[in-house]
Chains A and B, each alone.
Chain A
Amino acid sequence: MKILVCISKTPDTTAKIAFADNNTKFDTAGVQWIINPYDEWYALVRAIELKEAKPDTVLHLATVGGADADPIIRKALALGGDEAFRINLDGADCYQVAYQLAQLITKGGYDLVLTGKETIDYNGSSLGGMIAGINDLAYVSLATQLEISDNKAIVTREIEGGEEVCEVAFPLVISAQKGMAEARIPNMRGIMAARTKPLSVIEPVAQDPLTTVTAFELPAPKAGVKLVAPDQVDELVRLLHQEAKVL
């Protein structure tokens, strides 16, 4: 079986969110970058587990980004995977990124494509569905469990008010979320091995984005907290009822 895990680089969860160039660009000054947690903790680790269970599984990683994404993809390779691809493009929107990955997936003939459920920066939740749409692959979103049996995937996905288990034949695309696997920490052997694993840079194919970010905005700051003494809960309830009108 051939698996591709899509990896995105995102700002660290503690990064200061600020904007430059008249609020048109994310200010990357001083920002530490990480592998998008959903891609790493769930999609990648589950793929590694599947390869551990069946060592003849081929596991590839792919990212769309500039050379600054190389350390991130190497970090991912330190956790596992045989080789990686970086499509050399600073993607302007999700469709443009999905289009690049879709071409790679067609060429590579993958049985299973895994993405995180969303990135923690742009929160689009769209990449997996767009790849599936472009390549006409089956799509299971927001998966919390994945098993492979008899040449099909058995996937648990979250639905409104519950979850359901489904069986899907390969090839398919799955977006992964919590429950799928437990986060791992790379060990020294993995980090050393990652240095020599192949990382190929591929030039992008022509495809315009469909959307354009025109500006960013920070939320209005809070007015400040109104404290109520612990023995005055009636007063808190009164404030919530009469002042805030939320109770």
Chain B
Amino acid sequence: MSVLIVIDTAEGVVKKSAFETLSYGADLAAQLGVNAIGLLLGATSEEAGSLGQYGIKKIVQANPDQPRADDPTVLADLVSKVAANEQSQVIVFSHSLSGKAIAPIVSAKTKAGLVTGVVELPNTSNGFIVKRAVFSGKAFSHVRIDTPIKLISVNPNSYKINTGGAPATLETISLPAAASRINITKRQKSSNELLLTEAETVVSAGRGLKGPENWGMIEELAKVMGAATACSRPVADAHWRPHNEHVGQTGVAIAPTLYVAIGISGAIQHLAGVNRSKVIVVINKDPEAPFFKAADYGIVGDAFEVVPALTAAVKKLKGV
């Protein structure tokens, strides 16, 4: 019996979302009294044993001499095979771009119940019930998985990362991989270095900024805060900012530790995607802006004056 954690990697590098799922899986295995096993799919550029710091004792690396497959069906098949070898009763994924692609295929192929977007460890006192975010973060549901093997995917930025675990043992395994049906012809890095869903701090701006030419001060603030940038929907629709920065009910849902909203009114559809942020700061010149009702801290003022002053104040704090 074991809990198997599928480790997200991009170009061989382990993603932050994986640190969370590894921690989650280690704690879940302890709760169930079984072993936690991390699963790497394909080659990595890092020393896998160090992943033990998140509380994992064993890492299995499937096909370490090949790059990670591009086809989610191929990856799903590898996950199922390792899960069968290791007699895993729970498989933990990240609710990330790659987890969203792989987990449903594993569920369908093995008829194991899947709950995505999980925010807490399950309640296993009577069955296996997990809490997940629904209605774009406006509510939560508790879902019981009724199959012997349980699949869950953990929402990014929802679980505390463990530290201090001993190095894990590494086991490599060669598995026959099915032929890929997806032929990649081009790969492009986005200009954002920080992944929006993984960022601890997000600086976001809306139509109050008046035009794309005014985003310099937003990027400057984001830079000194070590934050990713985001925007409201009309801003992306008007092509002031790229689509992948659009947060909200019909964009990306995020849950950073700190969300700074500048010149955004706080429409219900915007709030839906950001209200799981731990602390929300709102800067808006209209004291009646609905966003203030969802905020922890606020400044009623003109963004064009407040933002540069805030950037200077953060610089002062950080001594840069």
Contacts and interface: CB of A to CB of B under 8 A. Distances in A.
Interface string A44-66: 00000000000000000000000
Contacts of A85: none
B265 interface: no
Contact of A162 (B106, B189, B317): B189
B70 A211 contact: no
A169 interface: yes
Contact of A133 (B109, B134, B253, B306): B109
Give the one of B139, B145, B243, B306 with max A CB within 10 A: B139
A104 B138 CA distance: 33
B279 interface: yes
B139 A129 contact: no
Interface string A76-102: 000000000000000001110010000
A161 B189 contact: yes
A138 B76 CA distance: 12
Given A126-B107, A158-B244, A141 B101 contact: yes
Nearest to A99: B108
B184 A244 contact: no
Contacts of B187: 159, 162-165
A209 B176 CA distance: 31
Given A130-B104, A213-B143, A219-B276, 12 more contacts: A13-B249, A120-B135, A120-B249, A124-B117, A129-B105, A130-B105, A133-B76, A165-B184, A211-B146, A225-B282, A225-B298, A244-B258
Contacts of A230: 299-302, 305-306
B296 A244 contact: yes
B121 interface: no
A133 B145 CA distance: 19
Interface string A110-137: 0000000100111111111111111010
Contacts of B143: 211-214
Interface stretch (B49-57, B90-98, B165-173, B205-213): B90-98
Contact of B134 (A122, A233, A239): A122
A127 to B, nearest CB: 8
B269 interface: yes
Contact of B190 (A132, A139, A163, A209): A163
Interface string A220-247: 0011011111110110110111001011
B268 interface: yes
A136 B181 CA distance: 11
A166 B72 contact: no
B108 A168 contact: no
A138 B182 contact: yes
Interface in A13-64: 13-14, 17, 19, 37-38, 41
A123 B192 CA distance: 25
Nearest to B276: A219
Contacts of A127: 104
A209 to B, nearest CB: 8
